[in-house]
């Protein structure tokens, strides 16, 4: 009689493995998607902040330049622009060039 009961529930393990495997795949896929979106948002935020800081640095530079040389509208070069100024990071490496 016991043998009959074992034969009746023989394929249930495969169903459990398939169901839990599908759930695990869904969770892993969702976590991978969330991670990718978080990384993309972080990069976009960094680039937006860097652009804002660069623009603000250019404005501050020209405000300072005009405060110290109020009649010099040619960036101290004596020629008509555009004027190229390399931007440096905290280590002194060029990372951006401002054309003004």
Residue 72 pLDDT more than 60? yes
| pLDDT confidence band for 100 (50 / 70 / 90) | very low
Prediction pTM value: 0.63
More confident call, 30 vs 4? 30
Mapping DSSP onto H, E and C, the string for the chain reads: CHHHHHHHCCCHHHHHHHHHHHHHHHHHHHHHHHHHHHHHHHHHHHHHHHHHHHHHHHHHHHHHHHHHCCCCCCCCCCCCCCCEEEEECCCCCEEEEEEC
User: In the chain, where are the structural domains located?
Assistant: 12-99
Residue 47 pLDDT more than 70? yes
| pLDDT confidence band for 18 (50 / 70 / 90) | very high
């Amino acid at each position: 009689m016991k043998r009959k009961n074992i034969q009746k529930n023989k394929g249930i393990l495969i169903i459990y493995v398939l169901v839990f495997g599908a759930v695990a795949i869904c969770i892993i896929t969702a976590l991978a998607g969330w991670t990718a979106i978080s990384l993309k948002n972080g990069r976009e935020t960094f680039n937006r902040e860097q652009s804002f800081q660069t623009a603000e640095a250019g404005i501050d530079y020209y405000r300072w330049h005009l405060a110290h040389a109020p009649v010099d509208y040619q960036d101290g070069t004596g020629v008509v622009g555009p004027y190229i100024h390399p931007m440096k990071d905290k280590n002194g490496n060029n990372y951006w060039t401002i054309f003004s």
